[in-house]
Amino acid sequence: MREVTLERIFTNPIVQKYLKRSGMAHAVKVANYAYDYAVSLGADIDLATKAALLHDVGHYTWYRDGVWDYDLYRENDIHAIKGAARAHKLLIHLGEDRQKAKEISVAVLLHTDSYLPEGMLELTPLQKAVKFADEADEEQGGKHHYKQMDYEQALSMIRHLDNKIDRNAYAGESHLA
Protein backbone atom coordinates (compact mmCIF):
# COMPACT_ATOMS: atom_id res chain seq x y z
CA MET A 1 0.00 0.00 0.00
CA ARG A 2 1.23 3.46 -0.86
CA GLU A 3 2.07 5.76 2.05
CA VAL A 4 1.18 8.92 0.15
CA THR A 5 -1.85 8.82 -2.13
CA LEU A 6 -2.94 11.33 -4.73
CA GLU A 7 -5.89 12.23 -2.52
CA ARG A 8 -3.59 13.03 0.36
CA ILE A 9 -1.51 15.27 -1.89
CA PHE A 10 -4.55 16.87 -3.56
CA THR A 11 -6.34 17.73 -0.30
CA ASN A 12 -3.27 19.31 1.28
CA PRO A 13 -3.98 23.04 1.82
CA ILE A 14 -0.63 24.08 0.35
CA VAL A 15 -1.27 22.03 -2.79
CA GLN A 16 -4.76 23.50 -3.05
CA LYS A 17 -3.29 27.01 -2.92
CA TYR A 18 -1.00 26.30 -5.86
CA LEU A 19 -3.53 24.25 -7.85
CA LYS A 20 -6.01 27.12 -7.64
CA ARG A 21 -3.31 29.43 -9.00
CA SER A 22 -2.12 27.16 -11.82
CA GLY A 23 -5.38 25.41 -12.72
CA MET A 24 -6.95 22.55 -10.80
CA ALA A 25 -8.76 21.14 -13.84
CA HIS A 26 -5.50 21.08 -15.81
CA ALA A 27 -3.59 19.33 -13.00
CA VAL A 28 -6.26 16.64 -12.57
CA LYS A 29 -6.52 16.01 -16.31
CA VAL A 30 -2.73 15.81 -16.66
CA ALA A 31 -2.58 13.30 -13.78
CA ASN A 32 -5.12 11.14 -15.59
CA TYR A 33 -3.25 11.37 -18.89
CA ALA A 34 0.00 10.53 -17.05
CA TYR A 35 -1.50 7.25 -15.84
CA ASP A 36 -2.08 6.12 -19.43
CA TYR A 37 1.29 7.35 -20.67
CA ALA A 38 3.08 5.67 -17.75
CA VAL A 39 1.39 2.36 -18.54
CA SER A 40 2.29 2.60 -22.23
CA LEU A 41 5.90 3.64 -21.51
CA GLY A 42 6.44 1.15 -18.69
CA ALA A 43 6.99 3.94 -16.16
CA ASP A 44 5.99 3.93 -12.51
CA ILE A 45 2.30 4.94 -12.55
CA ASP A 46 2.30 6.11 -8.94
CA LEU A 47 5.24 8.45 -9.47
CA ALA A 48 4.01 9.66 -12.87
CA THR A 49 0.54 10.60 -11.59
CA LYS A 50 1.97 12.37 -8.55
CA ALA A 51 4.45 14.33 -10.69
CA ALA A 52 1.67 15.19 -13.15
CA LEU A 53 -0.64 16.42 -10.39
CA LEU A 54 2.15 18.64 -9.02
CA HIS A 55 3.76 19.65 -12.32
CA ASP A 56 2.59 23.29 -12.25
CA VAL A 57 2.77 24.11 -8.52
CA GLY A 58 5.63 26.49 -9.26
CA HIS A 59 3.55 28.84 -11.40
CA TYR A 60 3.62 32.53 -10.78
CA THR A 61 1.02 34.77 -12.35
CA TRP A 62 2.52 37.18 -14.87
CA TYR A 63 0.52 40.36 -15.22
CA ARG A 64 1.25 43.61 -17.04
CA ASP A 65 -1.05 46.53 -16.30
CA GLY A 66 -3.48 44.19 -14.54
CA VAL A 67 -3.80 41.79 -17.49
CA TRP A 68 -2.31 38.29 -17.83
CA ASP A 69 0.62 38.53 -20.22
CA TYR A 70 1.43 35.16 -21.78
CA ASP A 71 4.48 36.53 -23.63
CA LEU A 72 5.92 37.93 -20.39
CA TYR A 73 5.34 34.53 -18.78
CA ARG A 74 7.08 32.67 -21.64
CA GLU A 75 10.07 35.05 -21.54
CA ASN A 76 10.61 34.85 -17.76
CA ASP A 77 9.09 31.59 -16.59
CA ILE A 78 10.93 29.23 -14.24
CA HIS A 79 7.84 27.51 -12.81
CA ALA A 80 9.28 24.02 -13.30
CA ILE A 81 12.30 24.90 -11.16
CA LYS A 82 10.19 26.41 -8.38
CA GLY A 83 7.64 23.61 -8.71
CA ALA A 84 10.24 20.85 -8.38
CA ALA A 85 11.48 22.38 -5.13
CA ARG A 86 7.94 22.85 -3.78
CA ALA A 87 6.93 19.32 -4.78
CA HIS A 88 9.99 17.80 -3.12
CA LYS A 89 9.47 19.68 0.15
CA LEU A 90 5.77 18.81 0.22
CA LEU A 91 6.28 15.13 -0.57
CA ILE A 92 8.93 14.74 2.12
CA HIS A 93 6.62 16.51 4.59
CA LEU A 94 3.79 14.09 3.69
CA GLY A 95 6.05 11.08 4.28
CA GLU A 96 6.87 10.06 0.72
CA ASP A 97 9.94 7.85 0.32
CA ARG A 98 12.88 10.22 -0.21
CA GLN A 99 14.09 8.56 -3.42
CA LYS A 100 10.58 8.58 -4.86
CA ALA A 101 10.17 12.24 -3.86
CA LYS A 102 13.36 13.01 -5.76
CA GLU A 103 12.21 11.13 -8.88
CA ILE A 104 8.84 12.88 -8.79
CA SER A 105 10.50 16.28 -8.36
CA VAL A 106 12.90 15.70 -11.25
CA ALA A 107 9.92 14.77 -13.45
CA VAL A 108 8.25 18.05 -12.39
CA LEU A 109 11.46 19.89 -13.25
CA LEU A 110 11.69 18.34 -16.71
CA HIS A 111 8.02 18.45 -17.74
CA THR A 112 8.73 21.53 -19.86
CA ASP A 113 11.74 22.92 -21.62
CA SER A 114 10.49 26.53 -21.59
CA TYR A 115 13.30 27.64 -19.30
CA LEU A 116 16.11 25.54 -20.79
CA PRO A 117 18.66 26.73 -23.31
CA GLU A 118 18.48 25.13 -26.74
CA GLY A 119 19.45 21.49 -26.76
CA MET A 120 18.15 18.03 -26.17
CA LEU A 121 17.72 16.12 -22.94
CA GLU A 122 17.31 12.36 -22.79
CA LEU A 123 14.21 11.88 -20.63
CA THR A 124 13.37 8.73 -18.68
CA PRO A 125 10.01 7.01 -19.28
CA LEU A 126 8.66 8.64 -16.10
CA GLN A 127 9.74 12.11 -17.24
CA LYS A 128 8.30 11.49 -20.73
CA ALA A 129 4.96 10.37 -19.25
CA VAL A 130 4.61 13.64 -17.34
CA LYS A 131 5.78 15.80 -20.25
CA PHE A 132 3.45 14.09 -22.75
CA ALA A 133 0.53 14.26 -20.31
CA ASP A 134 1.03 18.00 -19.86
CA GLU A 135 1.26 18.52 -23.60
CA ALA A 136 -1.95 16.50 -24.12
CA ASP A 137 -3.97 19.08 -22.17
CA GLU A 138 -2.12 22.20 -23.31
CA GLU A 139 -3.98 25.02 -25.04
CA GLN A 140 -2.59 27.99 -26.92
CA GLY A 141 -1.83 31.03 -24.81
CA GLY A 142 -1.92 29.07 -21.56
CA LYS A 143 -5.72 28.81 -21.61
CA HIS A 144 -5.53 25.32 -20.07
CA HIS A 145 -4.66 26.99 -16.76
CA TYR A 146 -8.03 28.74 -16.69
CA LYS A 147 -10.33 25.75 -17.16
CA GLN A 148 -12.69 25.34 -14.25
CA MET A 149 -13.48 22.22 -12.28
CA ASP A 150 -15.51 21.93 -9.10
CA TYR A 151 -13.45 20.76 -6.10
CA GLU A 152 -15.73 17.77 -5.47
CA GLN A 153 -15.50 16.67 -9.11
CA ALA A 154 -11.71 16.99 -8.99
CA LEU A 155 -11.53 15.05 -5.72
CA SER A 156 -13.74 12.32 -7.19
CA MET A 157 -11.44 12.03 -10.21
CA ILE A 158 -8.38 11.88 -7.93
CA ARG A 159 -9.98 9.12 -5.83
CA HIS A 160 -10.83 7.18 -8.99
CA LEU A 161 -7.22 7.51 -10.16
CA ASP A 162 -5.92 6.35 -6.76
CA ASN A 163 -8.16 3.28 -7.07
CA LYS A 164 -6.85 2.54 -10.57
CA ILE A 165 -3.27 2.76 -9.31
CA ASP A 166 -4.01 0.47 -6.37
CA ARG A 167 -5.86 -2.07 -8.55
CA ASN A 168 -3.02 -2.03 -11.08
CA ALA A 169 -0.46 -2.61 -8.33
CA TYR A 170 -2.56 -5.39 -6.80
CA ALA A 171 -2.90 -7.08 -10.18
CA GLY A 172 0.89 -7.24 -10.46
CA GLU A 173 0.93 -4.90 -13.44
CA SER A 174 2.08 -1.86 -11.52
CA HIS A 175 5.06 -0.89 -13.68
CA LEU A 176 6.63 0.19 -10.41
CA ALA A 177 10.38 0.53 -10.37
Q: How confident is the model at residue 127 (pLDDT cuts 50, 70, 90)?
A: confident
pLDDT of residue 117: 59
Residue 4 has pLDDT above 50, yes or no: yes
pTM: 0.79
Give exposure, 61-93, as e/b (b: 16+ Cβ within 10 Å). ebeeeeeeeeeebeeebebbebbbebbbebbee
Q: List, for residues 111-121, the tens digit of each pLDDT value.
A: 877 666 566 67
Distance (Å) of CA 95 to CA 81, 122, 164? 22, 29, 21
Residue 34: pLDDT over 80: yes
pLDDT of amino acid 130: 85
- Say yes or no to pLDDT of 134 above 80: yes
Q: Report pLDDT for 35.
A: 96
User: Which structural domains are found in the chain, ordered by start?
Assistant: 6-170 (1.10.3210)
Query: What is the average pLDDT value for the chain, to the nearest integer?
Result: 85
Between helices 13-22 and 24-41, what is the axis angle to 10°?
100
- Mean pLDDT to the nearest integer, 36-59: 93
What whole-number percentage of the chain has pLDDT above 70?
Answer: 88
What does the pLDDT read at residue 116? 63
Asked if 166 and 2 touch (Cβ cutoff 8 Å), the reply is yes
Q: Which runs of E-coded beta strand occur in the chain?
A: 63-64, 67-68
pLDDT at 168 over 90: no
